[in-house]
């Protein structure tokens, strides 16, 4: 239990200054100074955050797809061993449930993002 508390305290110590720093007005000036020499397109914060969300969901989807493929390989190489087959079946079911959750998260976040960006 103490380990969990230490982990949470450490996590808060690292995240709290970033949250406070995000409230500063000077951060946008720093981003403009970085953006101009690189020739980056002008993207507002909402579009950037939503792009990060979609990329994270895509990465997690790839991870669950690899998990399903790995579990399928485990099943094929189990050679009839009941213990290995049961483990592979559990991994496949977990991977498919994870993919369903990711697809649901992607569709709901896509709907919410489009609703926010296209609001009048």
Q: Which two tokens stand for residue 17?
A: 């200054």
**Residue 45 to residue 42: CA distance in whole angstroms:** 10
**Residue 69 backbone dihedrals phi, psi, to 5 degrees:** -65, -45
Whether 30 shows a pLDDT value over 60: the answer reads no
- The pLDDT of residue 68 is 93
Name which of 15, 100, 10 is nearest 60 in CA terms: 100
The domain ranges of the chain are: 1-42, 43-120
**Residue 57 to residue 104: CA distance in whole angstroms:** 10
Q: If you average pLDDT over residues 83-95, what whole number do you get?
A: 93
The whole-model pTM stands at 0.58
Q: If you average pLDDT over residues 30-51, what whole number do you get?
A: 67
């Amino acid at each position: 239990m103490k380990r969990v508390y230490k982990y949470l305290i450490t996590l808060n110590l690292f995240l709290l200054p970033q949250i406070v720093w995000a409230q500063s007005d000077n951060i946008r000036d720093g981003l403009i100074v970085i953006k101009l020499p690189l020739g980056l397109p002008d993207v507002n914060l909402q579009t950037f955050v939503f792009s990060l969300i979609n990329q994270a969901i895509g990465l997690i989807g790839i991870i669950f797809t690899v998990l399903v493929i790995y579990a399928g390989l485990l099943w094929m190489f189990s050679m009839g061993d009941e213990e290995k087959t049961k483990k592979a079946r559990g991994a496949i079911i977990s991977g498919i449930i994870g993919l369903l959750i990711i697809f649901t998260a992607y569709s709901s976040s896509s709907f919410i993002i489009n609703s926010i960006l296209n609001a009048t």
